[in-house]
Structure 1
Amino acid sequence: MFGASSHKYCLNPVISLKEVRQFEMEYHITLPEEYVFFLTKVGNGGAGPYYGLYSLEKLKCYNDANNPDNPVFIDNSLTLEKWQDTINAMDDCTDEEYDQIESRILSGALKIGTQGCTFGNLLMCQGSETGKIVYDDVDWFFDKPPFLTGMTFLDWYEQFFEEIAADHWVNFYGYKRLGTEEELMRDYDAAIDLEQKAKVLSSFFRLKKLNDKTVTWLMNMDERRFDAAKVRLLLQSDIIKGLTVFESLLTGKNIIAAVDSAFAIPASHKNTYYQCMLKLLYEENAVDKEQILYFLKDCSCKKAADLAAYAESQQINSKTRQTTIYVMESCDDMNKFI
C-alpha cells in the first residue's frame, strides 16, 4: 500500500495530555479535540493516510509557531483571486518577505503528515475548516489553492482504512469523494451540472473493479465530455466493452476522447490500433500528438521508418520533434536512421 513502508501499519505509543498542552502553549495553537484524543488515547503518530502521521516530536520539525496576529487564510471563503494575488506577491520578494507570506498562508494550520514531494496534510485549527483536513502543495502554484477535503480528522483517518479494507485505490485519498457504486451512480444522475458530474465520475477510479450494473450504466452514459473517462473505467472492469467503446470513438464518434484514453488500453491490445493511431498522427486535426506518440512507443510493432517523415515535418514544434525522435530511438530499426 502506498506509503506503508514508512510506518509499517504501526502506531507510536500515546503521549500525555500534559505534553499536548505544552505543545499548544509553545506553538500558540489550540489543537482540535479529535486530534488530542488521538494523540493521547490512540497513538502519537504512525500509521495513517499516505506516509502516515507525524509524532508530536516531528510536528516541531515541520511546523513553525503559529502567529496569533495573522488571520486565518485557508478557509471556505478563500477565492481564487485572493489566492493568486498572494502567490503573485511571492514571485519578486526577499527571502524574509517570502517566509512572512508563507507564514500567513499557513496561519492556523498544522502539518501533520506528507503525501510525498511537496504535498502535505494540514489539520486546520482555526477558521471555517477547524478540525478538518486540508491538502497543500508548498510549490504554491498560481492556479492550485489548498484543497479542502471537508473531512474531520477522525473521519479522514478512519475512512482511509475502510478504503483499504474494501481493496480500493488510495493513491488520491481525500481528493475524491467516497461512496458505494450505487451511491455514486445516484449522485451522478442527480447532479445538476457537468462539473458536479465530473467530480462524482472521478470517484469511480477509486474502485479496482466495477460490478455489472455499473458497467451497464457506463455503457448507457451518453455525455460526450466524459467519453475518455468512460473508456478508462470500462477497461478496468470489462476489457471487451471498453475496447468496443474505444473503437467507436476512434472511428469518428469522438477522436479526441479516443486519443485521451488510449494510454489505458492493455499492452496486449495496443498493436491492434497502431495503424489507426499512426494515421491520426499525420493528419491535420486537433488531437494531442504527444499522446499519440507515447501510445505508439508502447506498441511492440512500432517502426522508426513510420515516424521518420513526421520527425522531419516543418509543421511540428521542437518539443513534438524531440518526442518523435525519442520514440524512434526505442524502435528496432532506428539504426537505419542514425
Structure 2
Amino acid sequence: MWFRKKETQLDRIKNKLSQAMRKDADFSVFGASSHQYRVKEKLTAKELADWQAHNQVTLPEPYAQFLTNVGNGGAGPYYGIYSLGKATSYTERQVLLAKSVLHPGMTKEEWNHLIEPLTRDVDIPDEEYDGTCNKVLGGMLCIGTQGCEYDMYLVLEGKYRGRIVYTSDFHPDHPFFFVYEGSFLDYDIGWFGSRMPGDENALIQIYQSAPNEEIQAKALDGLFKFKKVSQLTLAFLKNIAEQSPKNRTTAIRLICKTSFDTGRKYLLELLQSDEHEDFLQALQILHASSKTEDLTKFISVILQRLDRIDDPEALRYAGYILENYGAITLQNFAPFLCHADLKMQTTAIYAARSCENKLESWQIIEQMLMGGGPQVLNNLILYWGIIPHEKLLPYYKAVWPEYKSNPNFKGKFISCLRELHLPNDYFDKDES
C-alpha cells in the first residue's frame, strides 16, 4: 500500500513537470528560468547507498525515492532542488548527524533563547558562531534555495523526519517555518508549503472544526491558492463575510479574487465603515483589482470619505485608485498637501503628480511652501517640476544654488523664467 501511494505521488510529480513545461514555456513562474522544469539524471540505488554509507545518514524515504525515480535535483519549488552532492556541500557531516532541535510552532521565546549567542554580541568568536549555527541547522540537509537569505532544509531524523523547513538569517522573534506538507513528495512546482494544503472542501472542513482563530485564519489563507472556487465555497465565504467580524475582510478578499461582482456590496460596506482598518482593507482590495475591474462606481464613495484618511498608507492606496480615474485635484487633496505630517504631505505630492492645471491652484502650492520646510519644495520639484508663477519665485530662488549644477533640473528652472519673461540669470542676481 505504501509503495503504491509513493508511486502515485512520483507519477504526479512527473506529470506536473511535463504540464508545467508546456503551460509555462516562457518560464514566467518564479525561479522557473533557473531549472526550466527539467530534472537531472536519476541516482542509481548504488550511488544512493554509497552516499548514505559514507555520511552515516539514511535519507527520508520520500526524498530518496525522488532522487532515484525522478531526478537527482533540478526542477522544483522556487529555484529548484539541489543535487545530492550540492546539498551535501552546504553542511558538514557531523552536523548532518546531529539531532534537529527545531519543531513546528516553536515560540518566539524558545527561538530567541536558541539563537541568543548570535544576537547577543556582534563580535562573537567564530567558533561560538559556527557552533550555534550548526546547532540550529543540525540534523537537516539543505536541498534548495528561494533566493537571497532563504533556503529549504530537509529534516533527517527525529519526530519531524522528512519535513521541509524554510530558513533565513537568524532574526529574533522569527523562528524557521515548517511547511504544511507532510513529506517531500507532497511537492509543488510553485510555492511549496507556504499555505495549508487541501482542496476547497477540506479547507472548509478545517475552518469549521478549527479549535481556535489561528487555524481558521490559516484555512482561509489556504483558499487563496485557487484562481476560481465553487459556488458552494463562495456561499461559505459570503456567510463568513456577513457573520464573522474577525475573518470578514479575509473572506471579502477571497470573494473579490474569484468573483469581483459578488464582492462589490461588501467593498462598499467596508468603504463606508467607521473602522479605519475596514476602509484601508477596501482600498487595498480595490487597488489589487484595478487592472482587471471597472472601479468607476467606487470613486465617488472614496472622494466622499477622503476626510477620514489620517495615515500615509490609506492615502497612498486612495491615491493609486483615484489617479487611475483622473479624480485627484489639488483642491480635493489640499488638506493632505498642506498637512503638518511630512509623510502625509509627501504621499499627497506624489499622488497628485499627474494633476493638470496646477498653475491655476498656485495659492495651494504657496500655502504648502509657506508651511513646509526645504523637503517639501524638493519633493515638489522632484514630482511636479517647476510651476511657473511669480509668487513662487522666492522659494525657487532659495534652492537654486542646490539645483543649478544639475543639468536635468537647471533647464526646468530656466524654462520657468522664460515663461515668465525673465532673464536666465534672474536667480543669480542679488535682491539689492
Q: TM-score, normalised by structure 1?
A: 0.83
Whether 1:3 aligns to 2:31 is: yes
Contact 1:228–1:258 (Cα < 8 Å) also in 2: no
Q: How far 1:67 sits from its partner (Å)?
A: 2.7
SS in 1 for 2:95: coil
Of 221-230 and 295-304, the range deviating more from structure 2:
295-304
Aligned residues: 322
1:34 equivalenced with 2:65 (yes/no): no
Q: Distance in 2 between matches of 1:57 and 1:68?
A: 14
Q: How far apart are residue 198 of structure 1 and its match? A: 0.7
- Aligned counterparts of 1:255 and 1:178: Cα–Cα separation in 2: 33
Distance 1:334 1:102, change over 3 A: farther
Structure 2: unaligned runs, 5 residues or longer: 1-28, 366-379, 381-432
Q: In structure 1, what is the Cα distance between the partners aligned to 2:97 and 2:65?
A: 27
Shift of 1:14: 1.2
Whether the 8 Å contact between 1:274 and 1:296 is mirrored in structure 2 is: no
Q: What CA distance in whole angstroms lies between the structure 2 residues aligned with 1:60 and 1:68?
A: 9
8 Å CA contact retained: 1:229, 1:261 = no
Using the TM superposition, give the Cα deviation of residue 8 of structure 1 relative to its aligned residue in structure 2, in angstroms: 1.5
CA shift for structure 1 position 100 = 2.6
* Residue 151 of structure 2 corresponds to residue 151 of structure 1: no
**Superposed CA offset, 1:267-326 (max 9, x none):** 2434543454455454376xx541332332243224361334314322x3x444443333
Q: Secondary structure at the match of 1:197?
A: helix
1:119 aligns with 2:171: no
Measure how far apart 1:242 and its partner are.
0.7
Aligned equivalents of 1:208, 1:79: Cα separation in 2: 33
- 1:227-306, aligned counterparts within 5 Å? 227-252=248-273, 254-265=275-286, 266-267=289-290, 268-278=293-303, 280-283=305-308, 289-299=312-322, 300=324, 301-303=326-328, 305=330, 306=332
Q: Matched residues in 2 for 1:273 and 1:90: separation?
A: 50
Instruction: Show the 5 A alignment for 1:202-213.
Output: 202-213=221-232
CA contact (8 A) 2:163 2:179 kept: yes
Q: In the TM superposition, what is the alpha-carbon distance from 1:133 to its structure 2 partner?
A: 1.2
1:29–1:108 contact (8 Å) kept in structure 2: no
| Aligned-partner SS, 1:209 | coil
| Aligned residues of 1:73 and 1:104 also touching (Cα < 8 A) | yes
Q: What is the SS of the residue equivalent to 2:40?
A: coil
**Cα–Cα, structure 1 residues 86 and 308, in superposed 2: closer, same or farther, change >3 Å?**
farther
CA drift of 1:66 comes to 3.7
In structure 1, the partner of 2:425 is: none
- Identify if the C-alpha distance between structure 1 residues 304 and 56 changes in structure 2 by more than 3 Å, giving closer, same or farther: farther
1:58-97 matched pairs, under 5 angstroms: 58-67=86-95, 70-76=98-104, 78-91=106-119, 92-93=121-122, 94=124, 96=126, 97=128
- Alpha carbons 2:228, 2:258 under 8 Å: kept: yes
Q: Distance in 1 between matches of 2:312 and 2:252?
A: 19
Equivalent residues of 2:319, 2:348 under 8 A apart: no
Q: Tell me, yes or no, if the aligned pair for 1:133 and 1:149 is still in contact at 8 Å.
A: yes
| Pairwise CA distance, 1:78 | 3.9
Q: 1:103 aligns with which of 131, 134, 151?
A: 134
Report the counterpart of residue 210 of structure 2 in structure 1.
191
* Structure 1: runs of 5+ lacking an equivalent: 162-169
**Which is further off, 263-272 or 197-206?**
263-272
**In structure 1, which of residues 31, 35, 54 is the aligned counterpart of residue 82 of structure 2?**
54
Residue number in structure 1 paired with 2:47: 19
Contact 1:111 1:123 in 2 (8 A): yes
Identical residues among aligned pairs (%)? 29
Task: Summarize deviations over 1:151-208 as a string: whole Å, max 9, x none.
Answer: 3434322xx26xxxxxxxx44x312112222222222122232111111111110010
The one-letter code matched in structure 1 to 2:271 is L
Q: Aligned-residue CA RMSD in angstroms?
A: 2.8
Distance (whole Å) between structure 1 residues aligned to residue 272 and residue 319 of structure 2: 17
Preserved CA contact (<8 Å) 2:100 2:155: no
Deviation string, structure 1 residues 199-219 (Cα, Å, up to 9, x no partner): 111111001011112112211
Aligned equivalent of 1:166 = none
Structure 1 CA distance for aligned equivalents of residues 143 and 215 of structure 2: 30
Q: 1:253 to 1:328 in 2, by over 3 A?
A: closer
Higher mean displacement: 192-201 or 76-85: 76-85
1:38-80 CA-partner distances (Å, limit 9, x unpaired): 2223210111222211112321443343436854221248432
How many Å separate the matches in 2 of 1:281 and 1:102? 50
Shift of 1:123: 0.5
Q: Could you tell me which amino acid in structure 1 is paired with residue 163 of structure 2? A: K
Shift of 1:220: 1.6
Q: TM-score scaled to structure 2, two decimals?
A: 0.66
Q: Name the structure, 1 or 2, with higher relative contact order (CA <8 Å, separation 6+).
A: 1
Larger radius of gyration: 2
Q: How does 1:204-223 map to 2 (within 5 A)?
A: 204-221=223-240, 222-223=243-244
Q: Secondary structure at the match of 1:144?
A: coil
Distance 1:275 1:98, change over 3 A: farther
